[in-house]
Each structure stands twice: as structure tokens, then as C-alpha cells.
Structure 1
Amino acid sequence: MNQVISIGKQDFASLREGNYFFVDKTHFISEWWESGDDITLIARPRRFGKTLNMSMLNCFFSHQYAERADLFEGLSVWEKEDYRAIQGKYPVIFLSFADVKQDNYRDAIYKIKKIIANVYQQFHEIGRSEALTEVQRRQFMNVTADMDDVIAQSALQDLSYYCYLYYGRKAIILLDEYDTLMQEAYIHDYWDKFTSFVRGLFNSTFKTNPYLERALMTGITRISKASIFSDLNNLVVITATSERYAECFGFTEKEVFQALELFDLGEQKSSVKAWYDGFIFGSKKDIYNPWSITNFLKEGQIRSYWAATSSNGLINRMIQTASSEIKTGMETLLNGGQIEACFDEQIVFEQLDRDENAIWSLLLASGYLKADRVEYRGMTMEPWYYLSITNLETASMFSSMFKSWFGITQSSYNGFMKALLSDDIEAMNHYLNEVIMATFSFFDTGSDCSETDEPERFYHGFILGLIVEQWENYRIRSNRESGFGRYDVMMIPRERSGKHLPAIVMEFKVHNSRKEQTLEETVQAALQQIEDKHYDAELLAQGFKKAQIHHYGFAFQGKKVLIAGESGL
């Protein structure tokens, strides 16, 4: 009888007790312990087994599981006699910041204090113990959700000391999803004040804590040391491009294929590989997302499981407001291509608005892009990353993200796309004006779109989201050279679509009252530019006939748009 798959179970003990499907990752215990590192930070995408691995470490080292050797019998770590001797021998302080998602500073700080207070309750016997002095017992009892900031910042260091007095051993601290609260602080604009509190908490817990045996933190991103880990010199950071722990998070292809055979799904290997393979950690390729694989094993159907479990708010916002160069890179990626980018893998949130390349760092850390290789160039050894979309599931995530921008006016959006592909100019104008009225306030970054200094930034973001659903039928390109200039958008039919679709060239112009009196003049200028600059050259070189190419000029003025077209010239 096959094992039962339990979706979303992140407690190691209950997983083992219920004999649920489990891929043995206990080699992580020995790899981490034998590293000898004081403080380790491991960045991996969401749903990659980080919480389960942290729970596994807790069950292995914690005094609370001293009599639970049965949880590890038959697993790889139990084959090592030395590790049997240290199972259940340490005080372990295990906490998670996964739920710190408040939209304001006051509530976020209160939530952190509540989490710390709940951890103290797990050690309530220490608070009543004679190992502590009367003063220390009172201090222990003062750790509540209503404690002041100073007490909260030193609370985990104090608990380490109390554990040392009670157990006679230094504590292991496990902090899961350490960066969730930082992303929320940035998104909701309480970053500066919040980082001051978190910096004090982390420095007290990890930097100046003499009663700390080891510490491990997990999260999605590697946040700048200057932001919250100032002067923490003993921090070892493991990112997606690090070699260490490469097979400890996520499933290897061997593990996936064995599971498929176990659940009589072996004939689906090629589809599973196309959809869910592609993650790379260090030089280890063919890593699969555990969430997608376990859901597939349970349901037996190819679906977008992992990509559908997050709102991707920060990434969404950064792509919408990115420059035309970033959007050109996105188009290359969506068309199955590869881009080169130089960036720092550490996230400096306060610089996200100033350093556009940070979007690539965030997409790599989140798992939506993979680094096929990293090349270090020049005397300063700057890292250059060769990036591509991870797999079909992540490609579908981008498509869904862009489509969601137009979800509030889906019928008009569908109408516009149908009109575009059938060369119905009148319908295109009708539907696109409806879309614009409903969505431009959502896209606009604050300035009048008719007067913005960089209209391409605004309109390329809009058009990318509008037409990306066609990526299976078209190669979508923008701001590329063809003829004697750079066109705005080109849609090149894919031969495999078999739908005999037209090739499309688009040119956008923002109405300039100093040059044109009306939108009609502006849209004609856009069409004339396509002709004068010979933007068809790229398509003609690929074998398209003039009759297969449609030209469209778009003239924008605030929330008004006028489209004119010419085809078969």
C-alpha cells in the first residue's frame, strides 16, 4: 500500500508518526553540524521544505524530543553512531516570523513580541525553576506581548542564558522565515523605524549572545548585512548560487522519479520534468520544488501548484514600474531566451527603487529565474548571471501575473485581444479605451501619463501585461532595432502555433500639443514612423510577406487612446 501524501504538513514529528510520504533529508543535520559554523543563513524559495527541515532539526537536537529516537530510525542520519549520541541533548529555541505580515509598524512589533512570549511559554518550567534567582524568575515572567521594546530585543539572549542555567548547555536557535517581516515593512512603508528594532533584536540574539551554541536562519532573500546584521562577522550566508546544502532543500531528479514510480506515475516523467524541473543550487541542477511534486503525486495532474501559492506583491510592483530595458529583458525571458545581468545577491530594500537590477536578484532568490551559470569579470570580479525562466510552471506564473493586471476588466481585455488578431480597428479602439479607463490608475506611478518624462516605461509595462497571454502563439519583442530605428512592440508568430496569425508591429506616441493639434495627427505620425524607419525589415528578413504584416499606431493622451492601422502594404 502506498504511503499517504499529506499536503502542507510542516511538523516533522507528526509527519513521521503518521507514516506520511517523506523524502529523507536528514543528511542536512550532519552537514550543518559538521560545518562548525556559528550562525548560518540559508536562502531558498518559498515552499522548498525550509520549515520542515527546521522542524526536523528541532526534533533531532531538542531536549523536548530526548526520548523520540523512533522519529529518526531508518533514516540516513541514524546510521551514524556519533549522531545517535547527541539526539535530544540541547535546548532549542525554535520560532518563525512567517506570520508577521502586518501593514503597520505598531502591529508588526506587537506580533513579534507575541511570538517571543509564546516561545517563553514552551520553557515555562525554567521560569519556575530554582536554577534561576528570584529576580531572574520575575524577568522571565515579564516577557509578554505587552513588554517594552528593550526587553523584547534582549529576550532571546536572556532565554539562552536561562536555558544554560537550567540545562547546563548553550542553546541552539532556529529562526524560520526571518525575512518575511522585512518585506512587509518595505511594502507598507515602515522600513526605517522597523529595521532599527529588528537590528537590535538580531544583534542581541546572534552577535552578543555568549550562550548561543549554534543558530540557523532560513528565508527567501539574503537581506543586506548593513540593514539588520550590522557587525555580525560570524554569519555564513548560503544563497541559490552557493555549493553547500545544494541537495538539502528541494527534491533531486532521482528522488522525484523514485516517487513517481512509487505512486504508479512513472509514465508522466517527461511532463513532470518539463513543468517542475529547472531549479539550480550551486552547480547542482535538476532540483524540483517539493510543493509541486507532492501535489502532483496526490492529484496526478499537471497544474500550477507552487506558482499559485503567493501574491508576489513586491515583484508585481517592481515589474510594473520598471524601465523599458528591464521589460525588454522580461520579454526575452518569456520567449525562452537568456539574459545577462550584474547584481548583488544581497537585497538592500532601501535601494530597490534606485537599483533596477535588484529585480533580477529578487526573481532569482524567489525561484522564478535560475542562474544557468555565474561568471566573474574584471579586476573587481563582478558577478554576471546568465538567467532564464526556471520552468513551465514559473512561466505560467508570469503570464498569470500580467493577466491579473487586467482582471477587473476581463471582458474588455478579451475583446481587445480578439479585435487585435482579427484586425478590427473599430473594436480595438472601443475595448482598449474601456481597459484603459479601468486600469490606468492602477498602473500609473503618480505622474500624468501624457506628460511623464519616460512614456516608454509606462506604456511598455501596460502593453507587456496586455499581450503576454499570447506568448505561446507569438514571440513578443519590444524596443529592438529593425530597419533604421527601434520599434516599440513586435509580435512574431510562432510557426508551431499553426494558426496563420498575422505579424504585428506597434508604435506608441504620447500626444505632444506642441507638435500635433489632435490625437489623429499623433496616431498618423506613429504609423508614418513605422514606414519611414522600415520596422518591417526584421520580419521581411524572416520570410514574412507584406500582406502578413499589420501596422498599428497608438496615440495616448491621459486616459484616452486612439488606434489606427495599416496592413498588407
Structure 2
Amino acid sequence: MARTVSIGNQDFEKMIQRNCFYVDKTGFIKEWWENEDEVTLITRPRRFGKTLNMSMLKCFFSNKYADRGELFEGLEIWEDEKYREIQGTYPVIFFSFAKIKQTTYKETIEKIKKIIFDLYQEYAFIGKWNGLTDKEKENFNNISYDMSDVIAQEAIVDLSNYLSRYYGKKVIILLDEYDTPMQEAYVNGYWEELVAFTRSLFNSTFKTNPYLERAIMTGITRVSKESIFSDLNNLEVVTTLTPKYETAFGFTEEEVFKALDEQGLSGKKNDVKIWYDGFRFGSKNDIYNPWSIINYLDKKKIAMYWAESSSNGLINSLVQKGSSNIKMMVEKLINGSTINVVIDEQIVFSELDYSEDAIWSLMLASGYLKVISSEELNLIRESDNEYELALTNREILFMFKKMILRWFSPAKSETNEFIKALITGDIESMNEYMNDVALRTFSSFDSGNHTSDKKAPENFFHGFVLGLMVDQSDNYIITSNRESGFGRYDIMLEPKDKQSEKYPGIVIEFKVINPRRENSLEETVEAALKQIEEKNYDAELINRGVDKENIHHYGFAFRNKEVLIDGR
């Protein structure tokens, strides 16, 4: 009989007791324990079972679950007698930063202090234990929401001390989603402040803690060692490229197909593979994201479950405000091609504003990109950290297409009107629309902090290329920054039907006004159109069969948020 599929359940005890659908990942317990690593950081994309696995570890090791071996009966770990003896024998400190999504530093620290206070409340009885000195009892009972930063930074190691003495055994510490507040700090502009606080917290908790047996931290990204782990030389880091724990997070193809059989969906294996396969951890291919699979088993229809399960705001912002090169590479990915980039798994958030490598590294860690197979990889790598990457699967492809279309909101009909104006040569409508979009868009972007005012318009309109591609891929082949004639054009739209006058060939050149050479946008746009003619950018279109009389030239000139378009 098929088990009930429970959506959003991250509580191991509850899932087992209710006989909900569960893929056995208890082998991870043995693998981790026998590796003997003191502090392990495991990074995986969101909704890949990190929290459920941490809940599983808590249920297995915590002495609060002593004599609860029935939770693991019938699972892989219970086949080993040695681990039956270990179950329920350690004091465990389990906490999560997953809900720390505040927009200010002050509110973030308040939330962290509340989490620490709640941990102490779990063990309130120890505050009255005679095994503590009077000063320790006083310190224990002084833990509060408004404790000082210094007290908060030392609170976990102090609790470890009290628990290890009370139970006569060192503690296991489990910290889930450690990097959630780090991402919020970057987005909201208090990164440096938070780094200073967390560096001290993590140092006392994981490095100089003599009462620690072992610890695991999970997250999406490996935040650079220099940022918050500078003192943790005992840290074992397991990223998506690391061989350890390859199948502990996410579903293998065997597990997915077995689940489809159980739920009476055996005939849907190919559809599910096309949409949700593609993740790769270490050397293990064909990993599926659990969130999409669980939702598919429940709803029995293909949809963008994982891609739509939470905000993609950071990736959206980085791509939208990124350089033209980033947009062209995203264009290649959407077209089904691969890109070769340098990957540094130590994410430095402060570099995201200017380092393209950091952006690709974040996208790989977040699950939007995948590394190609190891055989192909060995052939194309030019250095130890250069990889060939592709979009992970069809779900991610559709996510990016929707993301690009949203750039041209709020009115989809307006976008269609602009595309119609571009194709028909309606210069007045193009100018009206683009100036309105530029005004609204650049007023809402923090372009002054992240992108130079000079480059912001050019970067945005290279994003426009991708928007056109999504809407017009049936009618046009769209290319960017390629050689034709005697130079490189910015944008070219090649009609697929070369004989139809309905869809002309289009060449677009962008230019930001240069005050040393031009006195007005009119002069700048004229320079753009002159460049198209002098460099003979039409050559590629003509060679491919487009009639020269059916080619439109457009110059886009920019001055801050002002746009002028002309054509001939």
C-alpha cells in the first residue's frame, strides 16, 4: 500500500510515526560518524532534505530520544548492532537560522539571541542544578532576549559546558541553515556587521569548545573562510563538488523510480526525469530535488515546484544588474549551450557586485547550474577550478524564462506592443515605452551601489535581449556581441523565415553618451547608427539570406535614465 505523501514535513519523528512517505537516508548517520570529523559543514541547494536529515540526526543521537529505537526499526542504520547501542545517548544542541530573514542588523541579532534563549529554556532545569556554581547559575538565568553581544557569542559554549557535566558526556551540536542570515545581510547592506558577530559566535561554539564531541552545520553556500571561519581550522567542508555524502541529500534515480512505482506512476518516469533530474553531487549524477518529486507524487502533474518554492530574488538581481557578458552567458544557457567558467566554492558575498566568477559559483551552489559529466569535464578543464556548466534541468530553464519575462512587467501587453513597434519600425512607440521602463526600473534598482550609473542602462537592455528571445524564439534567432562585417554588433535578430517581409532582420547598437565627443543624445544615437553602417553589421544577415532592404537598424542612446532610440 502506498504511503501518504506529506508536503513540507521536516520532522523525522512525525514522519516515521505517521508512516508518511520517506526515503531512507539513515545510512548518512553511519557515514558521518565513521568519518570522525569534528566539525562538518555540508552545503546543498534549498529544499534538498537538509533540515529533515538534521532532525533525523537529532532523533538518533539525542538522549531525549533514549529508548526510542522504534523510530529507526526497518531502516538501514538499525541493521548494525553497534549503532543500536549509540542511539539516544548524547546531549544534543539543535538550532536553526532558517527563519532569520530580517532586513536590519539589529533585528537579526535580536532573532539570534531569541534562538539562544529558547535553547536555554529547553534545559531550564539545569539552571537549578547543584552541579553548577552560584556564578554559573546566575549566568544561566541571565540569558535573555536583551543579553549583550558578548554573552550571546559565548552562550552556546557555556551551554555545552553545563550539558556535558550534567550528562557526563560531550555534546553534539547541529546548526541548520547557518548562512540564511548571511544572504539577508548581503541583500540588505549589513554584511560586515553580521560577519563580525558570527565570527566570534562560531569560533567559541565550534573551535574553542572543549565540551564538543562533534558538530554539523548545513547551508546553501560555503561562505568564505576569511569571512566567518577564519579561526576554524578543524572544519571539514563538503560542497556539491565533494565526494562525501553524495547520496545523503536529494533523491537518486533509483529512489525516485521506486517511489513512482509505489504511487502507481510507473509510466511517468521519462517525464519526471526530463523535468527534475540533473543535479550532481561529487561524482554522482542523476540526483533529483526532493521538493519537486514529493509534490509530483502528491499532485501527480508536472509543474515548477522547486523553482517556485521560494524567492529567487538574489539570483534575479545579480543577473538583471550584471554585465552584458553575464546576460550573454545566460542567453547561451537558455539556448541549451554550456558555459566555461572559473568556480570558487568559497562564496565571498562582498565580491558579488563585481566578480562574475562569484555569481556563477553562487548559482552552482544554489542548484541552478550543474557540472557536466566527469568524462567531458576532464577534456574541457583548463585549470583546477574551471568547469563547464549547464542549466540543471527543464524546471530551471522555465524558471529563468519566467524571470526574464518579469523584467518587462508590470504589463505584458506593453512588452508585446514594444516588440511589435520594434518589428514594424514604430520609433515613437519604442521611445515612449523604453523611457517609461527605464524610469520605473532604474528608480527601483540600487544601481548606484552595485553598478555604475554609466553601465546600468546598457546592462539592463542586454537583459532585454533575453526577454525578446523568450517571446520571439519562434520567429527569430537572436545573437549578441558577435562579429559581422568589420566589427561586433550588440544585438542581432535574424528572422527564421528569410522570405517574409513580416519579420525583418534587426541590428541594434547601444551607446552611452560621451560628453567629450557628443553634445546630445541625438548625436550619440546618430553615432550608433553610423557605426552599424560603417562596420557593415548587415553582412551576416545578408550572407544568411536576408534581403538588405528588409533589415532595420536601431541605435539606443543613454544618459542616466534617459533613452533615445532612432532607426533607419
Q: TM-score, normalised to structure 2's length?
A: 0.91
- Give how far 1:554 is off: 2.4
Is this contact kept in 1: 2:556–2:565, CA < 8 A? Answer: yes
Residue of structure 2 equivalent to 1:535: 537
Q: Deviations over 1:468-492 (max 9, x none)?
A: 5337535543222222111111234
Residue of structure 2 equivalent to 1:25: 25
RMSD over aligned Cα, in angstroms?
2.8
Q: Deviations over 1:20-60 (max 9, x none)?
A: 11111111111111111000000100011100000010011
Structure 2: which amino acid aligns with 1:190?
Y
Structure 1 residue aligned with 2:402, among 400, 403, 406? 400
Structure 1: which amino acid aligns with 2:270?
S
How do residues 63-462 of structure 1 correspond to structure 2 at under 5 angstroms? Answer: 63-372=63-372, 382-421=384-423, 423-443=425-445, 445-446=447-448, 452-454=453-455, 457-462=458-463
- Give how far 1:560 is off: 3.9
**SS of structure 2 residue aligned to 1:508:** strand
- Give how far 1:74 is off: 0.9
**SS of structure 2 residue aligned to 1:32:** helix
Distance 1:122 1:547, change over 3 A: farther
Between 527-536 and 167-176, the greater mean CA deviation after superposition: 527-536
Is this contact kept in 2: 1:69–1:87, CA < 8 A? Answer: yes
Structure 1: which amino acid aligns with 2:231?
D
**SS of structure 2 residue aligned to 1:226:** helix
Distance 1:370 1:406, change over 3 A: same
Q: Deviations over 1:157-216 (max 9, x none)?
A: 111111111111110000000011111112222222221111111000000011101100
Q: Deviations over 1:314-367 (max 9, x none)?
A: 222322332222222222212211111113110122333342321011101111
Distance 1:301 1:543, change over 3 A: farther
Aligned residue pairs, count: 561
**SS of structure 1 residue aligned to 2:340:** strand
- Taking the aligned partners of 1:59 and 1:494, their CA distance within structure 2 comes to 60
- Taking the aligned partners of 2:515 and 2:189, their CA distance within structure 1 comes to 37
Q: Deviations over 1:436-469 (max 9, x none)?
A: 332232347239x9x9554674344442464253
Distance 1:149 1:459, change over 3 A: closer
Is this contact kept in 2: 1:409–1:435, CA < 8 A? Answer: no
Is this contact kept in 1: 2:478–2:493, CA < 8 A? Answer: yes
- Give how far 1:147 is off: 1.4
**SS of structure 2 residue aligned to 1:307:** coil
Structure 2: which amino acid aligns with 1:187?
V
- Taking the aligned partners of 1:500 and 1:276, their CA distance within structure 2 comes to 38
Structure 2: which amino acid aligns with 1:363?
M
- Taking the aligned partners of 2:456 and 2:53, their CA distance within structure 1 comes to 47
Distance 1:302 1:192, change over 3 A: same
- Taking the aligned partners of 1:471 and 1:58, their CA distance within structure 2 comes to 52
Distance 1:263 1:273, change over 3 A: same
**SS of structure 1 residue aligned to 2:16:** helix
Identity of aligned residues (%): 56
Is this contact kept in 2: 1:334–1:471, CA < 8 A? Answer: no
**SS of structure 2 residue aligned to 1:308:** coil
Is this contact kept in 2: 1:480–1:486, CA < 8 A? Answer: yes
- Taking the aligned partners of 2:68 and 2:10, their CA distance within structure 1 comes to 18
Structure 1: which amino acid aligns with 2:169?
R
Distance 1:127 1:472, change over 3 A: farther
Is this contact kept in 1: 2:331–2:466, CA < 8 A? Answer: no
Structure 2: which amino acid aligns with 1:98?
A
Q: Deviations over 1:206-252 (max 9, x none)?
A: 00011101100000000111111122111010111111111111111
Between 395-404 and 14-23, the greater mean CA deviation after superposition: 395-404
Q: Which runs of 5+ in 2 are unaligned?
A: none
Structure 1: which amino acid aligns with 2:242?
S
- Taking the aligned partners of 1:178 and 1:385, their CA distance within structure 2 comes to 27
Q: Which runs of 5+ in 1 are unaligned?
A: none
How do residues 464-543 of structure 1 correspond to structure 2 at under 5 angstroms? Answer: 464=465, 466-470=467-471, 472-473=473-474, 474-492=476-494, 502-512=504-514, 515=517, 519-543=521-545
- Taking the aligned partners of 2:34 and 2:496, their CA distance within structure 1 comes to 52
- Taking the aligned partners of 1:468 and 1:159, their CA distance within structure 2 comes to 57
